């Protein structure tokens, strides 16, 4: 990168980064070079990150991983250096956060990342870095899934306060509504005027999900043995759909073969679009069992789906194919929705540990036992910056 800026004094030539080195092995610390930003890029000093189930899929299942593999898909920190030809949006010292996943140098579990400026959001005044880091990965997932997989419109800016989508009263089922993906999906659908959202989550979350922030029209408990027939009865009696199937749109925020896909085979009909968070989890990771995943949703429960069901495997890592989202989603839409209070960050659970490695490992252990429920695991990355933490 010939036109890259030189690293200013005080920025280390290498820095610690958390990596997985073998399937189910303890995490390790590597020391990659700190890369000066090229044109349109930024170097960020990372203060906070968030864990997500993908970390477990990578560490225990080796999913799409070549070892050693740098980890982390979100960061929050402070702009250390701007590359040449920078936009006017950012300046050195700004607090920023984002969802990054494409290469080792932009992975969130390290104290410095180098990434494109369009992968960053400026921290809104009403949030701390610790709160904001719980947002970008799955808010971007919600936008990508609704627009790319369900093909429902989310125009930006919302045309007017009275604007309603054409399918505002059409049922949309969100299975796993209390997951991180589910909570952002509900908030986005509510803001854009989708009024017939059916949420599936454990009962303890139902009051919250029906409240003004999440706006679910009805809630069902996935642990109830009759959950599928309860949902069918509900949509049959409310009968808001007019395009041939009872529930034309479904988002499976969990992607568990037995826990979510199997019940959805009973609900999806010809014409239903079902977006499934990949990977499909055939066997969940645990201390004594290696997980099993499937990246091709059409190979799961073959022969059990009704003819004409449109299965879509969601892969948010492709969201940048949408040029408008590339330029506007993280730089503009995410911070605006947070600043306006339209989107509320997931409740954060701070994972403690004496070192970067210990915090990363502790967070992974919590994912392995399925501990997060309606919350996001967040933890400190660099410790040499004690302002506004």
Footprint of ligand NAP (CB under 6 A): 52-54, 57, 138, 141, 175-176, 178-181, 200-202, 205, 222, 253-256, 259-260, 277-278, 314-316, 372-374
Nearer to ligand NAP, 191 or 315 (CB): 315
Name the closest residue to ligand NAP (Cβ).
259
Q: Which is nearer to ligand NAP, 59 or 80 (CB)?
A: 59
For 85-146, the three-class secondary structure string (H helix, E strand, C coil) is: CCCCCCCCCCEEEEECCCCHHHCCCECEEEEEHHHCEECCCCCCHHHHCCCHHHHHHHHHHH
Q: How far out from the chain centre does Cα 117 lie?
A: 19
Considering the complex, what minimum distance in angstroms separates the CB of residue 137 from ligand NAP?
6
CB 32 within 8 A of CB 69: no
Whole-Å CA distances, 147 to 77, 324, 326, 339: 29, 12, 14, 23
Least distance from ligand NAP to the Cβ atom of residue 97, Å: 16
Q: How far is the CB of 367 from ligand NAP (least distance, A)?
A: 7
Q: Nearest approach, Cβ of 330 to ligand NAP (angstroms)?
A: 15
Contact present, 151 and 249 (Cβ < 8 Å): no
Residue 43 CB, shortest distance to ligand NAP, in Å, is 26
Q: Is the dihedral of CA 198, 201, 203, 204 positive or negative?
A: negative
CA dihedral 25, 31, 32, 34 (to 10 degrees): 140
Rg (the chain; Cα; Å)? 21
Instruction: Give the nearer residue to ligand NAP in terms of CB position, either 5 or 282.
Output: 282
Instruction: Considering the complex, state which of residue 126 and residue 373 has its C-beta at the smaller distance from ligand NAP.
Output: 373
Pairing of strands 249-252, 273-277: parallel
Residue placing its CB nearer to ligand NAP in the complex, 15 or 257: 257
Indicate the residue among 52 and 361 with the shorter CB distance to ligand NAP. 52
Closest CB 164 distance from ligand NAP, rounded Å? 28
């Amino acid at each position: 990168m010939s036109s890259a800026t030189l690293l200013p004094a005080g920025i280390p030539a290498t820095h610690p980064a958390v990596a997985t080195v073998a399937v189910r092995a303890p995490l390790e610390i590597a020391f990659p070079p700190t890369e000066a930003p090229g044109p349109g890029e930024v170097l960020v000093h990372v203060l906070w990150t968030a864990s997500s189930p993908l970390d477990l899929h990578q560490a225990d299942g080796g999913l799409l991983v070549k070892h050693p593999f740098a980890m982390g898909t979100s960061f929050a920190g402070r702009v250390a250096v701007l590359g040449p030809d920078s936009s006017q949006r950012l300046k050195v010292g700004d607090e920023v956060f984002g969802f990054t996943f494409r290469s080792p140098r932009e992975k969130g579990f390290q104290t410095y990342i180098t990434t494109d400026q369009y992968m960053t959001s400026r921290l809104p005044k009403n949030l701390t870095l610790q709160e904001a880091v719980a947002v970008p990965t799955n808010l971007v997932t919600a936008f990508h899934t609704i627009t790319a997989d369900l093909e429902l419109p989310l125009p930006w800016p919302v045309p007017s306060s009275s604007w309603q989508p054409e399918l505002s009263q059409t049922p949309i089922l969100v299975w796993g509504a209390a997951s991180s993906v589910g909570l952002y999906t509900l908030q986005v659908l509510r803001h854009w005027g989708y009024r017939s959202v059916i949420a599936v989550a454990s009962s303890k979350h139902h009051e919250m999900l029906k409240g003004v922030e999440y706006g679910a029209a009805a809630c069902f408990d996935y642990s109830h043995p009759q959950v599928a027939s309860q949902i069918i009865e509900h949509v049959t009696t409310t009968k808001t759909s007019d395009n041939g199937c009872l529930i034309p749109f479904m988002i499976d925020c969990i992607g568990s073969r037995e826990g979510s896909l199997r019940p959805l085979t009973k609900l999806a009909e010809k014409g239903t679009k079902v977006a499934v968070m990949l990977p499909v989890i055939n066997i969940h990771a645990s201390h004594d069992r290696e997980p099993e995943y499937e990246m091709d949703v059409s190979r799961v429960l073959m022969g059990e789906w009704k003819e004409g069901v449109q299965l879509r495997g969601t892969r948010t890592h492709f969201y940048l194919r949408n040029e408008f989202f590339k330029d506007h989603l993280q730089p503009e839409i995410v911070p605006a929705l947070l600043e306006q209070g339209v989107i509320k960050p997931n409740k954060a659970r701070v994972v403690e540990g004496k070192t970067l490695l210990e915090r990363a490992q502790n967070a992974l252990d919590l994912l392995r036992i399925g501990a997060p429920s309606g919350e996001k695991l967040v933890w400190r990355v660099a410790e040499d910056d004690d302002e506004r933490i």
